[in-house]
Structure 1
């Protein structure tokens, strides 16, 4: 891996129209914070920037609903989000906002720099206008009947029922979501960024340059977009809230929120480091990494890099480790139904449990596929892992040291193997040391490669191994006959405790601080860089060092606490549907024998690319890596999945189905799906990511 002088780390700018929930945290903010804490402990030069995204039609509409001005509206939610991030301990170097003066100037200068190169396209076209509200409508604020499936509430850019990409003019009986009235078409001039002109460069930089180091889901979605052909994108809007377009003939025009928002990373860095911000954005020896959710992949991997390239002297993102989505209790998070765990409510209801939420979200991080948060799983992970493994180990070691050595670190002498018990202790020590050094190396490697679930597991393995060593050596029994051996055992497990204090800092910063406090070890800070550099256990507590009194790191989550959270979710849940009145389960097909089933070669593959078939509303053309080859499969799922949604996903397929020609293309297999009661298709996927070609039996 290339060595960099410094790092610029960004998290997606959250939209300032509501509070934060755990889906936001798991997607873009906790992974970034974990990685940044790791970099800082390693001694890297890093800036971690974020801020509120405060422009766009959604802001003006939200403000109107709450009886506020747009400025009052964004002030309210900026304060709510900023406080929630601070209370949760997300360690931004700066949390800025796109309504700041420095951002206005930076975004306008960025626009001007590209405009001076004559890259923008000016075009007048008819767009929908809400006469009652006096505003042009963005695609998402126009709904109507889908021409493909008849859904009466399809959006102007996509029908969420069948997945078809749309334009507002394709909708039947369009209406404004703002007033409910039918909009009219009016001519308006806008400026377009010529994304199509960057297609060749993107193929070289992204498709060829990052096919081996970017996540499959990220790479696959980008490749699908580029393979379908890029088009110019409007970067201006008709609004009175936003950054004015800095041109004399652009009165009443503002920069489109998705043009100005990513520039917020640059303006926030300027605000933080006004004298040397350029080295974090223009020096090739700086590594730029964006942490985002999967819905922002195209903007951060295709559009913003093209903007940076057009501006001429900016570095490009070296990686964009986007996460999939987090579900809640088996359902999609829904802000409209209040089906969410709001961060500020969590911190109020469960004070002192920041680390517990960090741990659980890291353990289920949706790194390669959607994940599900449940309160029962939260309770189980806290009680049986944080309390019973990590907390128990630290507490046992501290209590034993106070019991036998008055809280002073005993001698670290090597024990000569003069007795069978001592020989066994030495053998156990060697095995434990080897296992823990392996865990440290694996943890660092996983952190370097944005695999935070794996990294946290390896960190916890230090406590698992330490617990086992303590249980196997039983110093409480040895105390009756060999205190020298007891001293050596406790010296070693105290070293493990110190190393855990260092290792858990990216994942459990509060626990790390408590461990260092108990060890009375401010000097441990000096050992952090050594630990991450050597990638193995390092000395942390000198002989005769006086420890502080033990304190519990974690406490069990009680059933009553769990019930309170589950009751909160039930308040706004829709009424359950009676399955007896809605069931459309199909009857069984005729019986087969095992030999019939055995003829099927069912395997897991990864979708590398997807595109819609021309002249077909049902078919998607998929390129699937089967582990044996890369083949084309036509699948009738276009009304259920968009190409972007399925690209990067693992699928189950029948690999030995005879090829079949459809619409002039040979399909070499069949994707297996499950159809629920309302006719919605669901992917059949392994519970964990497996290698393409893995067989199903």
Structure 2
């Protein structure tokens, strides 16, 4: 069996840079989502637990300004573009586990919480800086809407980073800054903002980058940019802006600001994961169990290699950190930039409308992927690569194999064994491709798959099975079976790149796509189904049509023949027509969206009204039911209280009669005193009376007069006692008060709950019905200290329980507010506090 086991058992968390939502994605923008899609599909196919997370990045100046220009709200504008992006990615067969939005409420919560953590940990600082302000627009202007001259290379560029030389530009260094919204000159004004204290995290970030370089997990351009930033010295990075559309800063003094979009966008990877699965912590909070793979363009390298990791470090949370970074260079169009406004270049919806399958576009973007340097898209090169590799190599091999099998073997794979020597070379190539997949070498792996296809084509041609049919039919069967196995392997290897074509092959072969079938001589139990040509050549006419349609800078031969002026006029007319068509389509889409919104609002209003009526009926019924239940409960409770009162009175009367008989000598109770011992001395020896704090009070479920009290008696575990003092004290009057606990009273159950002790209370001496009660509090004494009669020195004997009748045989009383035992006042052992009775100066104790 071929050894293609997983390198580890970690989860694969895959992200692609969140596309900004203010425009339609062109082919260059699609590179990241497509690259991440290949790796996510491979990871699932090989058995890794995988999540592919993405969504639209919706906050910031661009959305705010575009909404202003369109006369629409930011959210509705973003909703339109989110739907457009979703449609394009769905057509391109991107296998997201979730494609959501940073305008979701959960994203706001995550961003604000991460900010608070970083702030509490001391990694957020206040900075006063100069920002561009436009007097005409009457607002601070974001970098995105500032153009000026680069101080390093002199080119016209954005204010934050030069598009040509890549230099980072300080605001006060930009030459002739102008507002791209209105064209006015800009001035710098001071404003207070919050910043991420990057210098404070320099050592951790440097170690993080150097380890990635040592282990070869990041591409050279990412390592180069990250080390350059570190070498130049990290600076505080502002994370707030004076805008309206964004996530509000949850800090006093900065509530009128929002977070800079680069700060919240990367947090979106976490928040969108939480939207995708309740198990998000298993993906983001267990670094030993998850590897994070991020796919971005080179302009996003600093944010993913340094700033987002710095944000994670600042929180103190054990976040999963970036494992592999896969960054691409720029894709240009016919030597220039893509431009939606000028109708130059191929955009997502153009691909949908052009009439070719998504796999053709996927093929070219992978095959021509700008990994180590910029790549240029031209329709001539597109034609050459599609016709030469996709059609002439791969599609041709599959077609030849299926046609030969159908004509010579009735589509049934022969069973004459295989050419082991050649198939071993196929297996070696599979191992190589598998390694490139694991190392996230997207372009190299794709090229090696086509190299395998080329090997199989050559094998087909060299062995000439059409001749072997007569001369050596057994060898012919082995050759054909070997080719079919190779096509099976190509089908599986190609799946992450060209899922539609691969699925068509698998369906025709009646096989399941599975990584463990690679390099295996599997059985083919059914005849193959017919399979049409996977792809057709991209013709010269198609090239000419595309160049005119997409306004290629290299105009068509017909346009050239008409002269430059005619060509320019034709191009301008075409651009104007296309622009008008697009604007008309956008207006129609907007009108449709408004109509749908109105209809949805009317429907929602009707549903809300119906729901309100239903709710009112249900609430009225519920109120009537509740009233009946309350009345029944009140009757039941009154009956129980009356019964409990009668039982309590009966018990009190019996106890009083019992004590009276003892006093008169009519009832014999075992005397707890030893010979010659006073009651006070016997108390000291036999009764464990401890100062205890009431730490919980709750009603007994089976007794309206009973409290369940939880006490801290200074012991290893708390105690529970039952006390019938509900009529005399509210719960809050008892909670956290120190009381006297008879700690060695024999435990007993009261209405099913075990009581381990009894608290002391006083009552009026003339109260025969026990309708008065004063709990003896000892708040000045320490929890856990013993209480005993003053002047007694007897050794304690707390090892045995004292029975209730023995305890009540002790003469307790209060005189002038002082609690006494047989004339000796009770005092606390350590603090010397005298136990007093304030309410009943002359009373009985029990």
TM range (shorter): 0.7 to 0.9
CA distance in 2, matches of 1:145, 1:453: 36
User: How big is each residue's C-alpha offset from its partner over 1:337-368, in whole Å with a ceiling of 9 and x where there is no partner?
Assistant: 433211220121033x2112212211111111
The one of 457, 475, 485 equivalent to 1:467 is 457
Q: CA deviation at 1:408?
A: 1.9
CA distance in 1, matches of 2:150, 2:502: 54
TM-score in terms of structure 1 length: 0.74
Q: CA deviation at 1:140?
A: 3.9
TM-score in terms of structure 2 length: 0.62
> Hey, what does 1:280 align to over in structure 2?
283
Q: Is the 8 A contact 2:345 2:552 kept in 1?
A: no
Matched, 1:565 2:570: no
Matched, 1:66 2:83: no
The one of 90, 95, 98 equivalent to 2:102 is 98
CA distance in 1, matches of 2:421, 2:332: 40
Matched, 1:455 2:441: no
Q: Is the 8 A contact 2:423 2:482 kept in 1?
A: no
Return closer, same or farther for 1:31/1:478 CA change in 2, 3 Å cut-off: same
CA distance in 1, matches of 2:213, 2:246: 34
Return closer, same or farther for 1:170/1:392 CA change in 2, 3 Å cut-off: closer
Q: Is the 8 A contact 1:54 1:98 kept in 2?
A: yes
CA distance in 2, matches of 1:360, 1:174: 39
> Hey, what does 2:790 align to over in structure 1?
none
Q: Is the 8 A contact 1:29 1:291 kept in 2?
A: yes
Return closer, same or farther for 1:124/1:436 CA change in 2, 3 Å cut-off: same
Q: Is the 8 A contact 1:7 1:287 kept in 2?
A: yes
Matched, 1:530 2:516: yes
Structure 1 residues 181-330: aligned runs within 5 Å: 181-213=184-216, 214-274=218-278, 276-284=279-287, 285-312=289-316, 313-330=318-335
Q: CA deviation at 1:479?
A: 2.4
Q: Is the 8 A contact 1:337 1:573 kept in 2?
A: no
Q: Max radius of gyration: which structure?
A: 2
Matched, 1:549 2:530: yes
Query: What value does the CA root-mean-square deviation take over the aligned residues?
Result: 2.6
Return closer, same or farther for 1:553/1:211 CA change in 2, 3 Å cut-off: same
Q: CA deviation at 1:181?
A: 3.3
CA distance in 2, matches of 1:399, 1:237: 64
CA distance in 1, matches of 2:308, 2:261: 12
Aligned to 1:480, what secondary structure does the other structure show? helix
CA distance in 1, matches of 2:38, 2:431: 17
CA distance in 2, matches of 1:162, 1:545: 60
> Hey, what does 1:16 align to over in structure 2?
21
Structure 1 residues 160-175: aligned runs within 5 Å: 165-171=168-174, 174-175=177-178
Q: Is the 8 A contact 1:355 1:511 kept in 2?
A: yes
Structure 1 residues 37-186: aligned runs within 5 Å: 37-144=41-148, 155-158=158-161, 165-171=168-174, 174-186=177-189
Q: Is the 8 A contact 1:499 1:540 kept in 2?
A: no
Bigger Cα displacement from structure 2, 88-97 vs 387-396: 387-396
Q: Is the 8 A contact 2:366 2:446 kept in 1?
A: yes
Q: Is the 8 A contact 1:130 1:182 kept in 2?
A: yes
Q: CA deviation at 1:3?
A: 2.2
> Hey, what does 2:436 align to over in structure 1?
446
Compare relative contact order (CA 8 Å, sep 6+) and give the higher one, 1 or 2. Answer: 1
Q: CA deviation at 1:402?
A: 1.9
CA distance in 1, matches of 2:404, 2:163: 60
> Hey, what does 1:513 align to over in structure 2?
503
Return closer, same or farther for 1:176/1:497 CA change in 2, 3 Å cut-off: closer
CA distance in 1, matches of 2:45, 2:117: 38
Q: CA deviation at 1:330?
A: 2.6
Return closer, same or farther for 1:377/1:321 CA change in 2, 3 Å cut-off: same
Aligned to 2:87, what secondary structure does the other structure show? helix
Structure 1 residues 636-651: aligned runs within 5 Å: none
> Hey, what does 2:476 align to over in structure 1?
486
Q: Is the 8 A contact 1:326 1:373 kept in 2?
A: yes
Return closer, same or farther for 1:457/1:482 CA change in 2, 3 Å cut-off: same
Return closer, same or farther for 1:156/1:405 CA change in 2, 3 Å cut-off: closer
Return closer, same or farther for 1:400/1:290 CA change in 2, 3 Å cut-off: same
User: How big is each residue's C-alpha offset from its partner over 1:294-322, in whole Å with a ceiling of 9 and x where there is no partner?
Assistant: 00000000000000111122111012111
Q: Is the 8 A contact 1:222 1:301 kept in 2?
A: yes
Structure 2 segments unaligned to the other structure (5+ residues): 1-5, 565-846
Return closer, same or farther for 1:155/1:399 CA change in 2, 3 Å cut-off: closer
> Hey, what does 1:680 align to over in structure 2?
none
CA distance in 2, matches of 1:66, 1:508: 38
Q: How many residues matched?
A: 551
Q: Is the 8 A contact 1:338 1:569 kept in 2?
A: yes
Q: Is the 8 A contact 2:13 2:292 kept in 1?
A: yes
Return closer, same or farther for 1:209/1:20 CA change in 2, 3 Å cut-off: closer
Q: CA deviation at 1:163?
A: 6.5
Q: CA deviation at 1:146?
A: 6.1
Q: CA deviation at 1:209?
A: 4.5
Q: CA deviation at 1:74?
A: 1.0
> Hey, what does 2:662 align to over in structure 1?
none
CA distance in 2, matches of 1:161, 1:500: 40
Q: Is the 8 A contact 1:17 1:74 kept in 2?
A: yes
Q: CA deviation at 1:261?
A: 0.3
Return closer, same or farther for 1:374/1:185 CA change in 2, 3 Å cut-off: closer
Return closer, same or farther for 1:472/1:127 CA change in 2, 3 Å cut-off: closer
CA distance in 1, matches of 2:461, 2:20: 50
Return closer, same or farther for 1:395/1:175 CA change in 2, 3 Å cut-off: closer
Return closer, same or farther for 1:165/1:460 CA change in 2, 3 Å cut-off: closer
User: How big is each residue's C-alpha offset from its partner over 1:159-210, in whole Å with a ceiling of 9 and x where there is no partner?
Assistant: 6677764433345654433333344554432111101111111111212443
User: How big is each residue's C-alpha offset from its partner over 1:471-501, in whole Å with a ceiling of 9 and x where there is no partner?
Assistant: 2222222323543333333222222222221
The one of 539, 542, 553 equivalent to 2:521 is 539
Structure 1 residues 299-448: aligned runs within 5 Å: 299-312=303-316, 313-351=318-356, 353-413=357-417, 429-448=419-438
Aligned to 1:16, what secondary structure does the other structure show? coil
CA distance in 1, matches of 2:324, 2:77: 34
Return closer, same or farther for 1:105/1:572 CA change in 2, 3 Å cut-off: farther
Aligned to 1:199, what secondary structure does the other structure show? helix
Q: CA deviation at 1:241?
A: 0.5
Q: Is the 8 A contact 1:142 1:168 kept in 2?
A: no
Return closer, same or farther for 1:57/1:372 CA change in 2, 3 Å cut-off: same
Structure 1 residues 538-617: aligned runs within 5 Å: 538-542=520-524, 544-570=525-551
Structure 1 segments unaligned to the other structure (5+ residues): 415-428, 579-697
Q: Is the 8 A contact 2:18 2:265 kept in 1?
A: yes
